[in-house]
Amino acid sequence: MNKVLMAVDRLGVLGTKGPAVLTVVGRKSGQPRSTPVTPMVVEGRRYVVGGFPGADWVRNAQANPEATLGQGKHGEPVRLVEMSPEEARPLLRQFPTLVPTGIEFMKSAGLVTEGTPDEFEELAGRCAVFRIDTRE
């Protein structure tokens, strides 16, 4: 499914709607690795939540935070800054409201059962949260 979403995104079918494609360098291979993500905006800053504890893209971003965030046919060089569990808590609490499509994903991953803000807040320290900073 990720490959289908990324192909549709590259064609520009969704424009700026739908998921973005985050590309990070593989920590072992050194090759670009892409995954669809849905950034959320809180107080004018963009964030992305790692949907699985220990996901490859998360571990790659932790090893090399320089990345590219693509939406449609446009790519933007970014730097991913991992939030501490304390910083992540209020962001995770807002996740189900700001990224409602992520609720089912997190339920199917077994990370939440109801998808409430309290459940998401409890994921702090288990699921990585990154701030997306623009880089030149």
Whole-number pLDDT of residue 50:
94
If one compares 10 and 131, the residue with the highest pLDDT of the two is: 131
Q: Which domain holds residue 118?
A: 2-134
pLDDT tens, residue by residue, 49-88: 998 888 999 999 999 999 999 988 889 999 999 999 999 9
What total number of domains does the chain contain? 1
Largest CA distance in the chain: 40
pLDDT tier, 1 (very low <50, low <70, confident <90, very high otherwise): very low
pLDDT tens, residue by residue, 53-62: 889 999 999 9
* Cα–Cα separations (whole angstroms), residue 104 to 16, 20, 47, 75: 22, 18, 19, 27
CATH of the domain at 63: 2.30.110.10
Q: Is the pLDDT reported for residue 44 higher than 60?
A: yes
Q: Is the pLDDT reported for residue 129 higher than 50?
A: yes
The mean pLDDT value for 80-108 works out to 97
Mean residue pLDDT across the chain: 89
Distance CA 75, CA 113 (A): 35
Whole-number pLDDT of residue 19:
85
Distance CA 101, CA 74 (A): 23
Q: Is the pLDDT reported for residue 14 higher than 60?
A: no
Report pTM.
Answer: 0.86
